[in-house]
Chain A
């Protein structure tokens, strides 16, 4: 590294004041370009790493409802992404659970949930088969997160077995634990645990009830209704 670059980085980090020579160089077109490139680098770092490991404790959780053929679907998102999908529940039960589990203020807002709500409507309308929204899995265990992320990759119209998911996360003997982790999926439908069935071809279980699992698979064409 040449001494000018060294001095530039030192000044940028606040390790040293810029010398008169550095200041002069920084006013040249090459110097300006370099300074802009380094600033850009530091900003990109800050954006990607600034909030690491610091879940936004005070920011509220927002929720909304979507009307669907399976009844009302409740959606909730933190600043970080979709955090809950729930159906066959009363609004007050849903919000009470959010408050209790997330320890956050709960605020109804169709606006905040608009992207996912629209995708959900399109999904039930048959014009969309996959969701493109960030999910907030910061409250599940690392194992469950691996299971859920592997399950997210099972596409509409396909089925996977519990053993398939266990293999995909590199723990082939963990099918039973996979089943349990999926039973506690906080974001059903978007993380399609309904596409995961038993190895013998039977449907396995579903936290929302087997009839619901059948209905969702029928919507996706993986199962005749």
Chain B
């Protein structure tokens, strides 16, 4: 595990990256991750601002050779949780999903748009840690040890979070969605 981590990080540890380089390399990825985690672009941009500020302050404590990408995911995830918490406290009406700020570009077909809104609602209903683990694994290609580092848990716990998220979504989609492919809809395990 540590061997492959080193190989992956070697490009970065060859020369210590400046904060500017770090931002340049990962900012786009961070925003995409936060869009997926928070379910809309506005909150994601707010969270990204917050995360970059925190990262800037903590940058001096980032050890050379450590996994800066997982480190950024940890900071971004914390910022995301803060943003969604403060939204809830302010009572902002974030409960519903606005089609025009969906993670994926709005689909032209209204039925497909509806379907995506349902998916985003189900994903937003997952516990934050499961949602974060799922997105990191499925869309950002983090390994379970990296997800564990980002979520401050073990690799095994990270993996369990991903699996539980998928299981819950499977139940939610099948409950809410038209299962057209000749499958029936009583798939509780």
- Set B32, B108, B116, B174: member contacting A48, Cβ < 8 A: B116
- With both beta carbons as reference points, the residue of chain B lying nearest to A38 in the complex is identified as B170
A36-B183, A52-B32 as given contacts; A1 in contact with B164, CB under 8 Å: yes
- What's the A-B contact tally at a CB cutoff of 8 Å? 136
Does residue A180 face the partner (Cβ distance < 8 Å to B)? no
A1 in contact with B139 (CB, 8 Å): no
CB-defined contacts of B42 to chain A, threshold 8 Å: 142, 145-146
Complex: A41 Cα to B134 Cα, angstroms = 13
**By DSSP majority rule, is chain B's interface helix, strand, loop, or mixed?**
helix
Complex: A136 Cα to B137 Cα, angstroms = 28
- With both beta carbons as reference points, the residue of chain A lying nearest to B92 in the complex is identified as A170
Does residue B148 face the partner (Cβ distance < 8 Å to A)? no
CB-defined contacts of B169 to chain A, threshold 8 Å: 41, 44-45
A5-B189, A6-B163, A40-B181 as given contacts; A49 in contact with B107, CB under 8 Å: no
8 tightest Cβ-Cβ pairs between the two chains A and B: A53-B32, A134-B106, A80-B105, A52-B103, A48-B119, A142-B42, A41-B170, A48-B116
New A-B pairs, 18, CB < 8 Å, besides A37-B174, A137-B101 = A1-B167, A5-B189, A6-B163, A9-B167, A13-B166, A33-B183, A33-B184, A34-B187, A40-B177, A41-B174, A42-B166, A48-B115, A48-B116, A52-B36, A79-B105, A136-B105, A138-B41, A149-B98
B residues at A contact (CB < 8 Å): 28, 31-33, 35-36, 41-42, 44-46, 90, 92, 98-108, 110, 112-113, 115-116, 119-120, 123, 135, 137-139, 159, 162-164, 166-167, 169-170, 173-174, 177, 179, 181, 183-184, 187, 189
